[in-house]
Structure 1
Amino acid sequence: MRNGILIVLSILCALNPVWAQNPPTAAARGAQAPAPEGPAKLDTAPPVVDPKTYSIGVGDILNIRVWRENDFTGPYPVRPDGKITMPLVGDVQAAGLTPDRLSEQLKQALSEFINSPDVTVSLQQVNSKKFFITGEVARPGEYVLLQPTRVFDALSNASGFRDFASKKKIVIVRGAERIRFNYLDVLKGKNLEQNIFLENGETIIVP
């Protein structure tokens, strides 16, 4: 009997040598293949700003927390008129204030409805203050202006220059004004007066 089985297997292998050398995989036999991994998650950490000095602007999204009061806690976008709207309180001016100053105003407004409210205001997303870097850099694009930033420091965000970048002829576009910036001079500690602070909406051009 055993010899008969061996003979049958030998005949099958002879008739289909490919099957013998490459037996069906688990997936081919109907086994479920492992699911592919999803895309990498982006870093969605909120921006870090100084609550005593940062000036809230139109388009910013605030994260307002009122201790033990979920009805008042959540994200608040700053509207084009510079205000936010909070339940019961109504419209509150936010643009132009620091997070700490707005917290104090909200405490006063909420004290009519809540006993000793504890209010914290932070930035969930900064949309009002940005600058741009274009030209011969590794990472051209839009950058958030979270704190006072000089041109030299701003350029470090772009992950370096391309091979043929003209580092001596960089231009900062400030409205109708064109301001020259020599990166190599500043790197050597020369003509540091050209290393100005950027203003909202300005563009750095690296030719």
Structure 2
Amino acid sequence: MEMGTIVSGGIQDRIEAMERMMKSAGGSFVSGLFGIVLPLWLGVGLLVQADEEPVYTIQPGDVLAISVWKEPDLQQDNVVVRPDGGFSFPLVGDVRARSRTVSQLSDVISQRLRKYIPDPVVTVSIRKMMGNRIYVLGRVHHPGEFVANRPLSVVQALAMAGGLTPYADTKAIRVLRGAGSHQQSLPFNYSEVEQGQHLEQNIVLQPGDVVLVP
């Protein structure tokens, strides 16, 4: 007898045994318990994995629209985030926006406005994503600076730059991140990713990242 037949028969015997137990006991409770215990009893595990997409964070150069419900004097449609990552807003003063989501920024403004307005309803939206800039340099067809209006991986950034030239070293691409003493050099092997290997290299780029193709 083949191994597949043995395994299949063993599982079927277990299912039938559980069904007999359920019928003899009766009741909806046992029926529900059967549905929960059966996968574990058969040695079957279920794994649900939810991949969360990165949420865009505000960067210097972004243009915001900020409004407070029923407060026409507190509506601004062209709030430019300064190079230091902040901006000024009436009654609130200086606010740090860099690396915050629109939801987080809305909460900060609401909290500060509570001194003057009971239960303020603040809406923050991004009108122009001008701060999320990445750079692709070296042996690509269209090197330069790119404004990303959504999270981009290394492969997507290379595609925006027109792809690799024939003489590009696909195994020695680097992602430069940070500045000064905090700068990192992250390796990226295009040949491996192209073959579906070590896909963790295909990281989501951060504002200011430089993809260098030798």
TM bracket (short chain): 0.5 to 0.7
Distance 2:84 2:189 in 1: 39
Specify the alignment match of 2:155 in structure 1: 152
More helix by share: 2
Cα shift readout 1:128-147 (whole Å, capped 9, x = no counterpart)? 43221012323322123555
Specify the alignment match of 2:133 in structure 1: 130
Following superposition, the deviation at residue 187 of structure 1 comes to 1.0
Specify the alignment match of 2:145 in structure 1: 142
Specify the alignment match of 1:192 in structure 2: 199
Matching of residues 51-200 of structure 1 within 5 Å: 53-74=55-76, 75-114=78-117, 116-145=119-148, 148-174=151-177, 177-200=184-207
Cα shift readout 1:50-105 (whole Å, capped 9, x = no counterpart)? xx943333343221123343322122223345432222332233334321122123
**Normalising by structure 1, what TM-score?**
0.59
Identical aligned residues as a percent: 40
Residue 204 of structure 1 pairs with residue 200 of structure 2:
no
3-state SS in 1 of match to 2:74: coil
Distance 1:113 1:119 in 2: 13
* Greater Rg by CA: 1
Code of the residue aligned with 1:99 in structure 2: it is: V
3-state SS in 1 of match to 2:73: coil
Instruction: Tell me, yes or no, if the aligned pair for 2:113 and 2:120 is still in contact at 8 Å.
Output: yes
Following superposition, the deviation at residue 178 of structure 1 comes to 4.0
1:199–1:101 CA distance, 2 compared to 1 (3 A): closer
Gaps spanning 5+ residues in structure 2: where? 1-53
3-state SS in 1 of match to 2:164: coil
Distance 2:212 2:84 in 1: 32
Code of the residue aligned with 2:198 in structure 1: it is: N
Code of the residue aligned with 1:140 in structure 2: it is: P
